[in-house]
Amino acid sequence: MKVTNSPILVCIDTNFFNQKMFDFSSISFQSLIKIIKEKSIKLIMVDIVEHEIREQIRKKIEVANKELSTVLNTPNCRFIKNEVKYLFKDHISKILEGFDDFLKETDAVSVSSSDVHAKEILTLYFNTTPPFGHKEIKKHEFPDAYICLSLKDYSQKNKERIYLVSKDKGIKQFCESNNQFLQQIKTLDELLDLVNKRQENYQFVVDYINKNLDKIKSEISDKVMDQSYILISDHADSDIDEVSARQVEIEEINIIYLDESTAEINITFKVNLLVEFSYAPDEATFYDSEDKRYYYMDHTQSSFEIDKTIPVYLELDLEDNDNIDIININVEEIEDTIEYYEPYDY
């Protein structure tokens, strides 16, 4: 990757790690690691964020352990209890190791919150200044305040603005009030796209995507229609007959990695689906008290529309600008459950 500017300072909020289920092998995390190694981003890790991430991992482990124990204590699973618990325990340790490896691999700069004075926090608190809200103070707002002030202090000392990846409303308002030091970015993909805009071939890739949107949309439509779906409905004995994509619109495009030979893009599509289904109407349904079950004598057809949001990963080969190849189109797992309840007039 040809870097045209010095690396930007970035801090990522705990919620993003949680949202990604601490999967450091995910496409977005791997793109971040590559860009950090190429010196376009310098990752900042506030000690409170690191502590929160470790706590979140532990909590998820506790919940998963509890749920696993419930299942393994059922009669049909007791004979594999010890073996499964051993495998699960090994998997858990890998999650914690994965976070440690991520910190080492990214050479994250540790920032201490100990330099933030309690007086500063209390001033924000009593004045209900962001990240504290105007209504009931939430517990997470205190660590958020320490994180924001720690980053502001680091930015002042290093004379560089920090990009803070967070969707938190209070953090966003704090950044807006201190925009010479901090800038809020909603998602990691948005941040990666911002970094890649500095590359000379960024606009070339954007133009290619726009010219080939119909081809990409067609691929998405095919994948959506090939998917098997389960219908949850208030109609008796309902089943899906056919699903077709009526309209495919782009909600967001982010180029998450870019160099002279490769482009990786995350695209979020909103797809309008026409769902055709059959069901047993009330007049064709009866209950047999002896068999203790319902019988359906006839079925009728109906349809409805529903919107689904579908994330897509696209990889381009840029070796030959006159003949760009789409190496990979990967549609993340589409939710297979469709819910439909007949609207009633009250």
Per-residue model confidence as pLDDT tens digits over 59-85: 887 777 777 667 666 665 655 555 555
Domain final residue, candidates 126, 161, 196:
196
**245 phi and psi angles, rounded to 5 deg:** -90, 115
Residues 103 and 243 in one domain: no
Tell me, yes or no, whether 187 and 41 share the same domain. Answer: yes
pLDDT score, position 108: 96
- Give yes or no: residues 181 and 296 share one domain: no
Question: Is 141 in contact with 131 (CB distance < 8 Å)?
Answer: yes
Q: Is residue 345 part of a domain?
A: no
In a domain, 208, yes or no: yes
Q: Are residues 185 and 207 in the same domain?
A: no
Residue 130 belongs to domain with CATH number: 3.40.50.1010
Residue where one domain finishes, among candidates 168, 196, 224? 196
Looking at the structure of the chain, the number of domains it has is: 2
Same domain, 266 and 131: no
Asked if the structure places residue 53 within a domain, the reply is: yes
Same domain, 191 and 214: no
Question: Using one digit for the tens of pLDDT, what is the confidence trace for 37-60?
Answer: 999 999 999 999 999 999 888 888
Mean of all residue pLDDT scores within the chain: 86
Same domain for 330 and 225, yes or no, is yes
User: What is the C-alpha to C-alpha distance for residues 27 and 18, in angstroms, rounded to an integer?
Assistant: 15
Residues 233 and 185 in one domain: no
- What's residue 3's pLDDT? 44
Domain span holding position 243: 202-340
Q: Calculate the alpha carbon distances from 72 to 81, 84, 106, 115 in Å.
A: 5, 8, 38, 48
**182-212, pLDDT tens digit by residue?**
999 999 999 999 999 999 999 999 999 999 9
Residues 208 and 190 in one domain: no
Tens-digit pLDDT profile for the chain (346 aa)? 444 468 999 999 998 898 888 889 888 899 999 999 999 999 999 999 999 999 888 888 777 777 766 766 666 565 555 555 555 566 667 788 999 999 999 999 999 998 887 777 778 777 777 778 755 656 678 899 999 999 999 999 999 999 999 999 999 999 999 999 999 999 999 999 999 999 999 999 999 999 998 888 888 888 888 888 889 888 888 999 999 988 999 999 999 999 999 999 999 999 999 999 999 988 888 888 888 888 888 899 999 999 988 889 999 999 887 888 888 888 876 778 888 887 765 4
Give which of 263, 242, 265 is closest to 311, Cα–Cα.
265
Instruction: Order the strands of the 109-111 sheet from edge to edge.
Output: 109-111, 41-46, 8-12, 162-165, 182-185
pLDDT at 271: 92
261 and 158 both lie in a single domain: no
In a domain? residue 1:
no
Boundary residue ending a domain (196, 216, 233): 196
Residue holding tokens 């059959």?
278
Per the domain annotation, does 3 fall within a domain? no
178 in the same domain as 270 = no
**Quick one: pLDDT at residue 4?**
47
Question: Looking at residue 10, what is its pLDDT?
Answer: 97
In angstroms, the CA 327 to CA 261 distance is 12
Q: Name the residue with tokens 């070796």.
A: 319
Within-domain flag for 21: yes
> Residues 150, 266: one domain?
no
Residue 2: inside a domain, yes or no?
no
Contact between 26 and 283 under an 8 Å Cβ cutoff? The reply is: no
| Residue-level pLDDT at 72 | 61
- Is 93 domain-assigned? yes
